[in-house]
Amino acid sequence: MSENVANFPQSSDEEGSGEGEKGEGSVAGKRLISFLERVETLEEEKTALADDIKEVYAEAKGVGFDVKIVRRIVKLRKMEPEKRQEEDELLELYKSAIGMA
């Protein structure tokens, strides 16, 4: 079996004295706890940021901006100019094909 983080080293004591290499106090256990705590902290930060973003959109809506359009512009600004141009051209082509242009 391949070695990975989830496969803790086996204890030489088959009976398991309770404090073997698999336990919470082992190096592998402490490292796993460290990873879990880091992920949990980042998840909390991500939730806080999502809440902040919602507040900004609510503020924009409160002063009269169309939030759906603002979200679309944010998406477009993230895109590379070439990718954005390609998408615009395809949109125009499709609209023309169905008589919307």
Average pLDDT (21-32) is 81
Query: Do 79 and 44 sit in the same domain of this protein?
Result: no
Let me know if residue 12 belongs to a domain. no
Amino acid at 75: K
Query: Do 99 and 70 sit in the same domain of this protein?
Result: yes
- Of residues 58, 8, 13, the one with CA closest to residue 29: 8
Q: Is the pLDDT of residue 15 over 50?
A: no
Query: Do 58 and 71 sit in the same domain of this protein?
Result: no
For 48-72, what is each residue's pLDDT tens digit? 999 999 999 999 999 999 999 999 9
Let me know if residue 89 belongs to a domain. yes
- Of residues 9, 3, 49, 43, the one with CA closest to residue 35: 43
CB 101 within 8 A of CB 88: no
Q: Between residues 54 and 24, which one has the greater pLDDT?
A: 54
pTM of the predicted model over 0.75? no
Q: pLDDT value at position 101?
A: 76
